[in-house]
Structure 1
Amino acid sequence: MNRLASPAQLRASLIRWSLFIVPAVMLLGFLSGQVGGSADSPWFQALEKPAIFPPPATFGIVWSILYFMMGLALALVCAAWGSSVRVWAILVFLVQFALNLAWSPIFFGMHDIRLALVILILLDAALLVTVLLFFKVRAWAGVLLLPYLAWVLFATVLNWQFLELNPHAEYIRDSGAVQRMEL
């Protein structure tokens, strides 16, 4: 026998990793959003929105799909026992995931658009390294992260536009009073 594991054993390993990792990634993403606050907050409603700001319902749908894909990509890497860069890929994934989870509490909870932008720039860099390492471990794992990379890059531009339009957003009171005027 010249193999360490049969194809059936490899599939079973991937399934076990997926059954644990995918729900964990999705749950942590959901909890980060809940802890951080939401787009329904009076503070966020008072902000001037960029022209490229999508409908609010888009975010829940997109992030649910992306967290599922992230979890599946990580499971593929975790199940790739023979790869020499597997451990590094997992560690860099955890770093970028921590940055991802930190963004919502910083932006919505702390109302710190500047720090949130710094977090996103760091996330962009860490995610790019993650994608490259995932491609080295398993090509499909890297492919699964490409939509996430595109969305995070879009989020970085969006965050930057929020900062440009609302340079003093941290001083907006969270009183619930929002004045809107249409011409």
Structure 2
Amino acid sequence: MSRSWILPVTLAGLAALVVAAIGGTITDLGPWYQGLEKPDWTPPRLAFPIAWTTVFALTVISFVTAWRNAPSTKASDTLIGLFAANAFLNILWSLLFFRVQRPDWAFYELIVLWVSILAMMIYCWRLSRMASVLLLPYIAWVSAAGLLNWQIVQLNGPFG
């Protein structure tokens, strides 16, 4: 790895670890969550950390790849803004679902999260097609999570 890759890889990796750590800290799989009715197709508990680790790793690679191909400071700043907003939305979903215990609100926020991933994919496509493709597992996982979230709302609502 050349020296020019060290800073973006380090910063993106640290950002992903911070988002994962905050999200993991917020996520409470205690009695409230265990008591929710869930669809039969709910993934096993072990699938979630594996999927999220994969998603975060691919997101870091996507970001660094796109950032390295950014033709200007404005383009790299826009990229940073898109990924930062997405990180915030990722954490916000966990907060709404697990801490506020409002899967209904979390579902609507997840739609915004999904759109933010799509925006990242579209923007990355201009900079690096590979960077965009690396985000496909993220949007697929959030799509599945959205369906699961909606089913939980349907099986357990109303909330609040």
Asked if these proteins are the same fold (TM beyond 0.5), I'd say yes
Q: Say whether the 8 Å CA contact 1:113–1:162 is kept in structure 2.
A: yes
How far is 1:12 from its partner? 2.9
How far is 1:18 from its partner? 0.8
| Segment of structure 1 superposing worse, 81-90 or 54-63 | 81-90
In structure 2, runs of 5+ residues without a counterpart are none
**Rg comparison, structure with higher value:** 1
Q: Say whether the 8 Å CA contact 2:19–2:87 is kept in structure 1.
A: no
Q: How many residues align?
A: 159
Partners of 1:115 and 1:155 lie apart in 2 by: 14
Q: Say whether the 8 Å CA contact 1:47–1:169 is kept in structure 2.
A: no
In structure 1, runs of 5+ residues without a counterpart are 1-7, 171-183
User: How does 1:43-54 map onto structure 2 within 5 Å?
Assistant: 43-54=32-43
Greater than 4 Å deviation, 4+ residue runs: none
Instruction: Output the amino acid matched with 1:166.
Output: N
State whether structure 2 residue 128 is matched by structure 1 residue 138.
yes
How far is 1:142 from its partner? 0.7
How far is 1:13 from its partner? 1.9
TM-score (structure 1 length as normaliser): 0.79
Q: Say whether the 8 Å CA contact 1:89–1:130 is kept in structure 2.
A: yes
State whether structure 2 residue 32 is matched by structure 1 residue 79.
no
Note the alpha carbon deviations across 1:140-176, whole angstroms, 9 max, x for none.
Answer: 2111111001101111111000000010355xxxxxx
How far is 1:90 from its partner? 2.5
Candidates 144, 152, 156, aligned match of 1:162: 152
Give the 3-state SS of the residue equivalent to 1:79 in structure 2.
Answer: helix
TM-score (structure 2 length as normaliser): 0.90
What CA RMSD, in Å, does the superposition of the two structures yield over aligned residues?
Answer: 1.8
| Residue of structure 2 in register with 1:115 after alignment | 105
Is the helix fraction higher in 1 or 2? 2
| Residue of structure 1 in register with 2:56 after alignment | 67
Percent pairwise identity = 30
